[in-house]
Structure 1
Amino acid sequence: MQIIKDISISKRWENILTASIDKIIIFLTICAVPATLASISRIPMSGLMVSMFLHAIISVALIATTIYRKRLSINFKMNFILIVTSLVAIAGVYNWGLLGNGMLWSILSIIFITLFYGIKVGIYASIVFAIYVSIIGYLYVNGILETSVDPVSYLSSVSGWLTAILGSLIPLTSSVLIIGSLYLAAKQALLQLDRQRVEITILAEQDELTGIYNSRVFHSLLEQSIERAKRHNGWVYLVNIDLDNFKSINDNYGHHAGDEVLKFTAKQLLEVTRDEDTICRIGGDEFLMLIESPTKYSNQQLDIIINRIKSAINIPYIYEGTTIEISGSIGYAEYNAVETPNLKDKEDILKLADREMYKDKQRLRAQQMS
């Protein structure tokens, strides 16, 4: 991640970053005044120090940045935070050595550098700061640099502890703010991606008009059912359902009426479809139902299934006050790897179910003509 480069990815991402950076600037500003006062309170003990002037200058800069933050670019605000945290870290280590909070501020600064400019730059910054601390440490160990206060007196003073508390609270809380904000943003983004993935999957699998499975998904499920039947010597039943005289519905009442009839039929079929079975619309006025069974159904059981389906769809539909009669022709194919050797693959099963459906349609026409 390199926030400087990633800002332009999306407006939403830029808004999240801006809100996070503004929170940190406001927090630093709120803490700057008491921190500066705590720093100044050490004057009787340490005398005037460069870091005290630095604290005052930083406080004024933070207040100004907070006031005008809406007018400032996110790049400016991020680099401003980097400069502030880096200066505090550098000055803290130089003036106070291990007595100050320069180390904590350096960690905060490196976190920001890594987030803003990437891991590689963050590693370089860590190495540079480690070299800087090593040099300052060498100077302190060899007496070239000394703190302006007696360490024992400093550790037993109220101002010393107040400075330590504020000096550690600010970088730690700032780290929590930036990391927490980015974590929440990442979490929300992942949840949104999951929702979009589900929506895309649903759109890819659903028939746009009726909301049930489309033919692409159904063909895949049929292939899986056939493979399971081969492994476990099970049975697959494919039921082909075709509405009768559907063209006349479109011709007499319009295509919107035809669409409403298709949606109504799909709803009726879902009501008689078990959870373990599958229903789909493969186009036009044709539906397929997929049923799996570990054992072979008897003719009586199959008749019950067919009659249940016919009863579900052979129901008049009221469209804008007009009654539209609905009926359907049904044919089925049964598959078992051992007992139906003439059915080699899904295409054979589909063709057989289709032929049986047309036989049922011809029987219905013959009855109507007689």
Structure 2
Amino acid sequence: MSVEEILAKLVSFPVLGGESNLSIIHWIKSYIESHDIEAYLVPDETGEKASLHCRIGPAVDGGVILSGHTDVVPVAGQEWHTDPFVLTDKGDGKLYGRGSCDMKGFVAICLAMLPKMKSAALKKPIYFAFSYDEEVGCLAGPELAKTLRTFYQETPKYAIIGEPSMMETIAGQKGIYILETYVYGSEGHSSRIKQEVSAIHESMRLILWLEQKMDRLIEANRTDERFHPPHSTIHIGKVEGGIAPNVIANKAHFYWDLRTIPKDDIFEIVKEFEAYCESREQILRSVFPDFKIETVENHPPVPHLDTQADDEVVSLINRLTGNSVLNTVSYAAEAGQFANEGFQTAICGPGSIAQAHRANEFISKEQLELGAQMMEKLIKELSSETFK
């Protein structure tokens, strides 16, 4: 099957993040095993989802992991001009469909190149690692990465995460954590604002603290010029509370988003915030004994990626692509999870992230071809006695 034929098949599986991915993962497994390569599943605790991994080539240290996710984001409410789950060629050099860019294009390239990988005289192995639920929190990444480190008798050295990067090397990503904070105050007539505890007023204090914390980090020169913006960000995206303008709100909550550069610790920031919340509880319980603030996880923490420009994985990808551009990103990806398992990791894949998550998502045929060329060069590199 060609890259486009495989991509059309992958796009036809409408597997959204959070849903069972067994349909697409079993098709991928069958395809791999039709080439006499044994593929293994890493199921979740429900048995309704699974990651997949396999090895092509010899069981020796120093191989390369090619990783992608099988789930996509929803299409509901978006104005699509074609069926999002039918790969469509309009004759303009682009292939339209949900997931065509993010990131089934990369997975299709891996699968299409499998026959060449198998027939090559590889001196170092290639591994496929395909996950589920990346779009709802990179949930499968940690276990899949750990499995790649412990399942095989040998140890892979590199991991290439094929998120759309226009075939440029992405050496860094910010750490990400999304939380919800709930504030429980006392209700009453608005004229009694000093005798009651408004959950909305207290929420605003907490939000201001978070904004000021971001500013304090910047003022303390906690910056990394590789990123844009070059500092950690704290953003409040949604606030809810209150029932009427003349009623003191007894409940309110807000959602906040942390994106940290490698030198900042996500959990340290959360710990400082919770300490501030505790101080507010101590003060206001003298007014309302049941005053309470609770912060819960909305999106699990995703670790940052901090690959350095002189790391070997960077020079490897640059040789494969002929592209010396080195970038960073602020979106979530599984790269940091693979790096945490000891693999030299970077992001590089076909397509533009600007096309991801939007109506009429597409990937250009040119980008698919460049991705295929990268794979051919990888096969050649790993077939060399001098590859390290």
Question: Larger helix proportion, structure 1 or 2?
Answer: 1
Q: Between the two structures, name the one with larger relative contact order (CA 8 Å, sep ≥ 6).
A: 2
TM (norm. structure 2) is: 0.20
Q: Which has the larger radius of gyration?
A: 1
